[in-house]
Amino acid sequence: MSTYIIADLHLSEDEPAITAGFIHFIQQQAIHADSLYILGDFFNYWIGDDDDTPLHQQVAQALKQLTAQGIPCYFIHGNRDFLIGKRYAEQCGMTILPQETLLEIDNKRILILHGDTLCIDDAAYQNYRKKVHTPWIQRLFLTLPLFIRRRIAQKMRQNSQYASSMKSESIMDVNPQAVISTLQKYQADWMIHGHTHRPAVHPVSIGDKQCYRGVLGAWHHEGSAFIINEQGIELIFFPF
Ligand code: LP5
Ligand code: MN
């Protein structure tokens, strides 16, 4: 039994090597898994399920191969693709899960999430997040013509890159107290997230209990995944 977890692929037309790497991963690795979880920022940005591009179709077809073989695929929204909706999820054959989801595998309680909600020291981002998660603002955005939505998304990406370049590394990392309180809230042994692009496994001591925080890597020049099986929980990297 093996569970695969990935995040932060940032798939886009501008990075065909990452898309090819993802398709290869699906056909050579995930096809042998028992389930696949994608923890957000799967796409570089998502402006609505009606944005039906060749890339979106190609990715949906690849995921459909998995579900057709009986391998379930689950998705948690990231900060770049929180607008992925039921329609695209159905095209992929994947199920959208709540932003914090507890898995119970081999007697381990493993919390999975994108990771942005743990970065509470980044006040500018958390304020911005509240706005773009407001249902009426999202509904209004989705009524705009696609070319305008695309322009807004590209502008937001530029602003974000500039804003991030002005922030310290520590502000953009998770807040240690937020990690502890989130692990406690779910009485979890592990949490696995992406978003910070700082792949690692961090021990987290809570009283007498030894917990762990696993961080996925972004798919820039290689793939990254957590594999959970009888042998344990392992962070792996692989060439495209
Ligand atoms: O994405 P990444 O990792 O580079 O940076 C994130 C934070 N940035 C973002 C912005 C996204 O990258 C933009 C993606 C486009 C989404 C598609 C369109 C959807 C539109 C929906 C409208 C309803 O998430 C970045 C963090 C960084 O992670 C590390 O954690 O620092 O945060 C920012 O850059 C935010 C700025 O600091 C604050 C921006 C203020 C803008 C205020 C205007 C809000 C009004 C929005 C109303 C539509
Ligand atoms: Mn992210």
Question: What's the ipTM?
Answer: 0.96
Pocket lining for ligand 1, CB < 6 angstroms: 45, 47, 79-80, 83, 116, 119, 122, 124-125, 128, 131-132, 137-138, 141, 153, 156-157, 159-160, 163-164, 167, 172
Best mutation site among 133, 152, 156, 195 for ligand 1, i.e. most ligand atoms within 8 A of its Cβ? Answer: 156
How many whole angstroms separate alpha carbon 41 and alpha carbon 182? Answer: 21
Query: In the prediction, which pLDDT does 1 show?
Result: 83
Q: Where are the beta strands (DSSP E) in 71-216?
A: 73-75, 94-96, 100-105, 108-113, 190-193, 200-206, 209-215
Query: In the prediction, which pLDDT does 160 show?
Result: 96
- With respect to CATH, is domain 2-239 assigned 3.60.21.10? yes
Query: In the prediction, which pLDDT does 83 show?
Result: 98
Q: Is the pTM of this model over 0.90?
A: yes
How many whole angstroms separate alpha carbon 216 and alpha carbon 203? Answer: 15
Best mutation site among 12, 120, 164, 173 for ligand 1, i.e. most ligand atoms within 8 A of its Cβ? Answer: 164
pLDDT in tens, 149-203: 999 999 999 999 999 999 999 999 999 999 999 999 999 999 999 999 999 999 9
User: CA of 233: how far to CAs of 47, 107, 147, 191, in Å?
Assistant: 34, 12, 43, 11
The mean of the pLDDT values for the chain is: 97
* Residue ranges per structural domain of the chain: 2-239
How many whole angstroms separate alpha carbon 66 and alpha carbon 186? Answer: 30
**Averaged pLDDT, 61-65:** 96
Question: What is the pLDDT confidence band of residue 240, given thresholds at 50, 70 and 90?
Answer: confident
pLDDT in tens, 91-150: 999 999 999 999 999 999 999 999 999 999 999 999 999 999 999 999 999 999 999 999
pLDDT in tens, 12-54: 999 999 999 999 999 999 999 999 999 999 999 999 999 999 9
